[in-house]
Chain A
Amino acid sequence: MKSLEELQAIRERMKSQIQSREQAGGNDIRVVVGMATCGIAAGARAVLAALTEETAKSGLSNVKAGQTGCVGICAYEPIVEVFFPGKEKVTYVLMDPDKMRAVFKSHVLSGQPIQEYTYTYAIADKGEK
């Protein structure tokens, strides 16, 4: 049985670790999933769930998983944006939980974006500008 008491204990244990890491520097990597109607309809909740799980698994406190609204390219949902400190934003399109996990491992953990999943790649492939 899950309980608030148990969560409290887990939290206490985590706190000391988090504080020591946060003092190390403010180099947050932000990863956000578009969660407007268009995103949700295309499966964004499952993508966000995969991101949340991977973030928890990594144990990294400088990775911030979050949500955003509609980016304006609804046909390309689910959309994930990765903000790396000091680098340009990378927009991933037509995401699913497996692609999300792959992006997390390659881009977030190792700094290597997966070009094939990006918006830039998707529009180049279609010959659109």
Chain B
Amino acid sequence: MTARRIFVYNVWVTELSLHILDIANNSTRALAKTVTLEVTADFVRDVLTVAITDDGHGMDEELLKRLSDPFATTRTTRRVGMGIPLYRMAAENSGGSLQIESKLGKGTRVTATFKISHIDRPPLGDMAETVITMIGGAPETDFTFIYRTDAGAYEFCTKAVKDALGEDDLSDVTVLLYLKDLIDENVKNLNGGNHI
């Protein structure tokens, strides 16, 4: 078990935003029309909470139970699914936990918590890059990204951008790069001098 953990950590780029990107991909593969990503850094309680909520096709209880088993996957190209197990491990290794709620036909919410000051907590990393990668990967899905710190909150919504531009597809590279800078600016403003 120890050997496997060391191996996994060598492979995984230790950035929470990469886990988030991977887990959000599950939502779009579950044909979600809307995906909401909430990142809350509460320095008073020393807790970082990441919640990904979708209205995709959801999971039944049987699949939900098997989820943290790497050999539970819906994919057909190979028989292992490491996304959730790796994410759970990142949370549990940094004094947090992972919670998954799902209802067949309704959607899924994946909530991870991390102790901000824990020495093994991976940095949040580049959230702007993750959000635009989500948008580029599923242009027809509506994404909402909410970012909260003690300094305030920022909400980014692809629906507002689509309305403003009068376009349904935001996967144009110029648009994505602009949105990345826009999100990055707002996230950095809220971080102040803190490294999250």
- The residues of A with any CB-CB pair to B shorter than 8 Å are 1-8, 10-11, 14, 35-38, 40-43, 45, 48-49, 52-53, 55-56, 65-67, 69-72, 74
The answer to whether A37 touches B175, judged by C-beta atoms less than 8 angstroms apart, is no
Q: What residues of chain B have their CB less than 8 Å away from a CB belonging to chain A?
A: 11-13, 18, 21-22, 25, 75, 77-78, 81-83, 86, 129-130, 132-133, 136-137, 160-161, 164-165, 167, 171, 173-179, 181-182, 185
Show 5 residue pairs from A and B whose CB-CB distance is below 8 angstroms, ordered by the A residue.
Answer: A11-B167, A40-B21, A45-B18, A49-B129, A52-B177
- By beta carbon, the residue of chain A nearest B177 is A56
A45 near B160: Cβ-Cβ < 8 Å: no
Q: With a CB–CB cut-off of 8 A, which chain A residues contact B165?
A: 7-8, 11
Chain A interface main SS type:
helix
Are A40 and B22 interface neighbours, CB within 8 A? yes
Q: Which residue of B lies closest to A59 (CB)?
A: B174
**For the complex, what is the distance from the CA of A74 to the CA of B137, rounded to whole Å?**
19
**Extra pairs beyond A11-B175, A43-B13, A52-B177 (5, CB < 8 Å):** A3-B182, A6-B178, A7-B178, A8-B164, A56-B174
Q: Which residue of B lies closest to A42 (CB)?
A: B11
C-alpha gap A6/B182 in the complex (Å):
10
B17 to chain A, nearest CB (A): 8
**8 A-B pairs with least C-beta separation:** A2-B182, A56-B173, A72-B77, A67-B137, A55-B173, A37-B83, A4-B164, A70-B77
B161 adjacent to A7 (CB under 8 Å): yes
Nearest-CB residue, chain A, relative to B126: A45
Q: Which residues of A contact B78 (CB under 8 A)?
A: 70, 72, 74
Specify which of B13, B25, B179 is in contact with A7 (CB 8 Å cutoff): B179
Tell me, rounded to whole Å, the shortest Cβ–Cβ distance linking B27 to chain A.
Answer: 14
User: Which of A37, A45, A55, A56 sits near B86, CB closer than 8 Å?
Assistant: A37
Shortest B186–chain A CB gap in Å is 9
Residues of A within 8 A of B22 (CB): 36-37, 40-41
Q: Given A2-B185, A7-B161: A52 and B77 within 8 A (CB)?
A: no
Contacts of A6 in B (CB 8 A): 178
Instruction: Please state if B181 and A2 are interface contacts (CB–CB under 8 Å).
Output: yes
Q: Please, how many angstroms separate the alpha-carbon atoms of A72 and B73 in the complex?
A: 14
User: Which residues does chain A contribute within 8 Å of B176, judged by CB atoms?
Assistant: 52
